[in-house]
Amino acid sequence: MFEHTVEKLLQENIYSRYRDEYQMLVTNKHGVEQENVEVNIDASTIQFLISLKVDCTSLPEYIQPVENDHTIWYNPLSPRLEQVLGNSRNMVLPEYKKDMILVDYVALVLKMIDNRIGIVADHFKMKKIYIMSLTAVRNRDIIEYDTETYNKAVFMYNVNDYYCLVTVNIGVKFPQEKPSVQLSSIYCQEGKQCTETLDKYPYNPTHRPDDNIDNLLQFLNEAVLKFKNHKH
């Protein structure tokens, strides 16, 4: 059984190395507050349970998932972090090397989390810019768009009085990978789904979203005319 005590760590000489590391951790300016560190000790093992403060202000808002079962999982990540970083069970932490001290390892873990947050935040920002730019250009034709994750927009497109729906979906590798674009006919008989995915429209991840959107819309003029004559 573990004994939940900091006093045991501080008082018994056999834990001198870890006592010094603990004191460095809670007094170092880059460390953590003492109340955010719990120490568990048994005959052969010492565990440090450390609550880290992470800046989540750049992350998208937490979206409450739909409950589909009654299973409860213990997860030391906050719901907001879990949603963007994944379940902690699948998180690969940096290796704790023998010559490392605790305060340096904590800093390494924080850096890893901060880097991941930066990637997620940048991805969300780029998605939002793209979708909002698209809705601004096609304002009157927008059918729907995702205002939570900015993963999707649907708008009506008209070429020579032929109308079709255009669905734009943004994937996890955006902006390196282009959004998927699908045309859907509004004229097909009930029960038939007439769609076409556009894979070859021009896209450059180094261009501004407005330029990529302009190129997509120009491409749609010809693509929609071809789609008009699709066979059922």
Q: How do the domains of the chain map onto residue ranges? A: 1-51, 129-228
Q: What is the pLDDT of residue 183?
A: 96
**Mean per-residue pLDDT, 89-104:** 81
Judge whether residue 221 has pLDDT over 90: yes
How do residues 122-167 score in pLDDT, each as one tens digit?
Answer: 999 999 999 999 999 999 999 999 998 999 999 999 999 999 999 9
Confidence of residue 69 (pLDDT cuts 50, 70, 90): very low
**Mean per-residue pLDDT, 193-202:** 92
Residue reference for tokens 């302009």: 214
Which residue type sits at 57? T
Judge whether residue 27 has pLDDT over 60: yes
Name which residue leads in pLDDT, 132 or 98.
132
Q: What is the pLDDT of residue 224?
A: 94
Mean pLDDT of the chain: 83
- d(CA 106, CA 49) in angstroms, rounded, equals 11
In eight-state DSSP terms, residue 39 is: E
- d(CA 229, CA 5) in angstroms, rounded, equals 76
- d(CA 80, CA 47) in angstroms, rounded, equals 26
Which residue type sits at 95? E
Cα of 165 vs its chain's centroid, Å: 28
Q: What is the CATH number of domain 129-228?
A: 3.10.110.10
Instruction: Count the residues in the chain.
Output: 232
- d(CA 159, CA 48) in angstroms, rounded, equals 65
- From the list 2, 76, 91, 79, the residue with the least C-alpha distance to 40 is 2
Sheet holding 3-4, edge to edge: 3-4, 37-41, 46-50
**Mean per-residue pLDDT, 182-207:** 88
**Mean per-residue pLDDT, 55-71:** 60
Residue reference for tokens 């990529």: 212
Q: Which residues pair with 76 in a beta bridge?
A: none
- d(CA 112, CA 101) in angstroms, rounded, equals 17
Judge whether residue 228 has pLDDT over 90: no
Q: What is the pLDDT of residue 89?
A: 61
Confidence of residue 1 (pLDDT cuts 50, 70, 90): very low
Confidence of residue 74 (pLDDT cuts 50, 70, 90): very low
Q: What is the pLDDT of residue 196?
A: 93
Q: What percent of the chain has pLDDT over 90?
A: 41
Judge whether residue 232 has pLDDT over 70: no
- From the list 150, 207, 146, the residue with the least C-alpha distance to 176 is 207
Cα of 157 vs its chain's centroid, Å: 31
Judge whether residue 210 has pLDDT over 90: yes
Judge whether residue 73 has pLDDT over 50: no
State the number of CA atoms in the 13 A half-sphere of 171 facing the CB.
7
